Structure 1
Amino acid sequence: MSTLGGSGVEVSALAFGGAAIANLYTEVSEDQAHRAVNTAWQQGIRYFDTAPHYGLGLSERRLGAALREHPRSSYAISTKVGRRLEPVAAVTGDDLDNGFAVPAAHHRVWDFSADGIRRTLDAGLERLGLDRVDIVYLHDPDDHAEQAFREGYPALEKLRAEGVVGAIGAGMNQAGMLTRFVQDTDVDVVLCAGRYTLLDQSALTELLPSAVARGRSVVVGGAFNSGLLADPKPDATYNYAQAPAELLDRALRMKALAERHGTTLRAAALAFCAAHPAVASVLVGARSEAEVRDCAEQFAAPVPGAFWQELRDTGLLPADAPVPTEKPPEEPS
């Protein structure tokens, strides 16, 4: 377990991401979603992440229902604010344009105002069936920086001061603005998705060193870059789009190298994310018992030191990127 910044909120080294169980791209049954969360618990995962955006609230509802079986003090949960859900007058289609196979019963409203933050969090708590969450992130404020810093972030500070939440931060698919949050505000944690992986180390330039220097924590998501590092093949996706040929070739070379050293590319991808001292938890999305179990097993598997050395020697990994020792990552607890 790691503590996020100076917050006192503890998270497991491996975390469960709740987007996939909200019908990401394809439907997931209630039972399948419930079993995925239960398997995460059985594997020792004690940090769970969700957002209103995921399935128009479906992720929050499903995650809350599954976690209700466990003592509230025994796990940490995060949700996100910045996208308010507003009901529509009539449902006329689905939400697949936004990636989720759910009825389009709501539309999303970008809102990083103080009032919007409160309203979004209150609605999220209702869907979760909880009276509090441990962590709240500003969700993808890329095109709303002014309002996010001027209104949204101070609202989170107030919620933390009131004891409504334990830790605050921002979650994004970029490193630049997250670095600004780390350097210019008093966030406890940032969630960086897809920008600290075996294929993309852009967070290594400023974000991760800044987090170490300021005593902030980083949660890394997107360790597999949306699929390419999980199973590199011609139709694999990279950051939710068709993988470029150059990156596919790079991932295939890494996979072959991993197999020569008796490990897997999945294990290496997860171990790499966890190795940086700023990283408190690695967030993985899974839609089934099998996927959860595989992620936990891969996360716990040792990756030989010789693999990391050859990765550097062949230029597939920068020399300044921290790598694990041969000791496996800490088991989730």
Structure 2
Amino acid sequence: MRRNRLGRTAVRVTELSFGAAGIGNLFTPVTDEQAGQAVAAAWDAGVRYFDTAPHYGLGLSERRLGAALRGRPRDEYTVSTKVGRLLQPAAAGGADDLASGFAVPATHRRVWDFSASGVRRSLEDSLERLGLDRIDIAYLHDPDDHAEQALTEAYPELERLRGEGVLGAIGVGMNQAELPARFLRETDIDAVLLAGRYTLLDQHGLADLLPLAAARGVGVVIGGVFNSGLLAAPRPGATFDYAAAPDDLVARALDLQAVCERYGVPLRAAALRLPFGHAAVSSVLVGIRSATEAEDAAAMLHHPVPDALWAELKERDLLPPDVPTPTRER
């Protein structure tokens, strides 16, 4: 699998990256064995970039990912985690964490903290859970309501940690395009993880963020290419951004699927390939919770998508005319 340089950094990421929220029991439980099999299948398919966060399963994702990668050559893979939420022990009880989306016991509570000391503690805790001595990429995680502290306290601390060799690159990971664009303008950030805002159904990232990233040499990782499910299997009742998709979006997704089917292309393949039309995009991150999903994602990444398919999507107004589409070489 092709590896791309992440912006101006020395960090390399594979075109397909492993989103590890699923092995942190996102929505439904996954066993330790299933999590290990998912990582192993992704590895066998050539994936060498793995993304996690303390938020995912209250640390379960980090622990499982670290266990699955243990014994593999450290210089052969890239790991990113996130800062902004500290995990603090919670009072004993029978509660679960499903209100936050994870099928795990609520042994800890999340505390927002974008202070310098919070960032350092968060990374120290993540390194312990992962069993690693360094993080390749640290993302500021969802600082929507904490922008000033993230800019003035968390980011400078990440710069210090980068200088100490604790991490290789600094990024911001969000479900919106506007605030990451501000980080691009006001900091020397290395990467952006943009979730759900550059897909077949939503191209908000193209207005400002992606051109700015390209101009400044910042690497972009695109997540949420299936918009949480609608573009994986469009049907009434499917989810878009983790809520029931409105009827007009379901109809649009079904139209996209119909065009893809005429070219013998699964909609998932077109959704995965689209971001690579933009020069700033280094990798596409897919949430994976099983070996089957890992194998399918790799197959979709490599599925040929003819130029004529992109042209027809634009002719039918299913894709805006200014959206750059990938060539067969990219």
| Cα contact 1:183–1:214 (8 A) shared by 2 | no
Aligned with 1:282: secondary structure? strand
State the Cα distance separating 1:91 from its structure 2 match: 3.1
**CA separation in 2, counterparts of 1:222 and 1:273?**
11
Q: Which residue of 2 aligns with 1:123?
A: 125
State the Cα distance separating 1:7 from its structure 2 match: 1.6
| Cα contact 1:198–1:272 (8 A) shared by 2 | yes
**CA separation in 1, counterparts of 2:28 and 2:223?**
21
1:1-333 → structure 2 map (5 Å cutoff): 1-327=3-329, 329=330
| Cα contact 1:232–1:251 (8 A) shared by 2 | yes
**CA separation in 2, counterparts of 1:251 and 1:274?**
20
**CA separation in 2, counterparts of 1:13 and 1:275?**
12
**CA separation in 2, counterparts of 1:281 and 1:240?**
22
Aligned with 1:249: secondary structure? helix
Aligned with 1:21: secondary structure? helix
Q: Deviations over 1:75-118 (max 9, x none)?
A: 00000000000011313310000000000000000000000000
- In the alignment of these two chains, the number of paired residues is 328
State the Cα distance separating 1:325 from its structure 2 match: 1.7
**CA separation in 1, counterparts of 2:60 and 2:172?**
21
One-letter amino acid of the structure 1 residue matched with residue 248 of structure 2: E
Runs of 4+ in 1 over 2 A off after TM superposition: none
One-letter amino acid of the structure 2 residue matched with residue 55 of structure 1: G
State the Cα distance separating 1:34 from its structure 2 match: 0.3
**CA separation in 1, counterparts of 2:317 and 2:8?**
37
Specify every segment of 5 or more residues in structure 2 that has no aligned partner in the other structure, as ranges.
none
Specify every segment of 5 or more residues in structure 1 that has no aligned partner in the other structure, as ranges.
none
Identity %: 62
Aligned with 1:223: secondary structure? coil
**CA separation in 1, counterparts of 2:316 and 2:40?**
41
Aligned with 2:135: secondary structure? coil
Structure-1-length-normalised TM-score: 0.97
Aligned with 1:322: secondary structure? coil
State the Cα distance separating 1:69 from its structure 2 match: 2.5
Q: Deviations over 1:134-184 (max 9, x none)?
A: 000000000001111110111111111111100001100000001111121
State the Cα distance separating 1:275 from its structure 2 match: 2.0
State the Cα distance separating 1:4 from its structure 2 match: 1.4
| Cα contact 1:87–1:105 (8 A) shared by 2 | yes
Q: Deviations over 1:218-250 (max 9, x none)?
A: 000000000000000111100000001111000
Report the aligned-residue RMSD.
0.8
Structure-2-length-normalised TM-score: 0.98
**CA separation in 1, counterparts of 2:328 and 2:192?**
28
One-letter amino acid of the structure 1 residue matched with residue 202 of structure 2: D
| Cα contact 1:173–1:194 (8 A) shared by 2 | yes
**CA separation in 1, counterparts of 2:8 and 2:76?**
19
**CA separation in 2, counterparts of 1:91 and 1:275?**
49
**CA separation in 2, counterparts of 1:61 and 1:15?**
18
**CA separation in 2, counterparts of 1:33 and 1:91?**
26
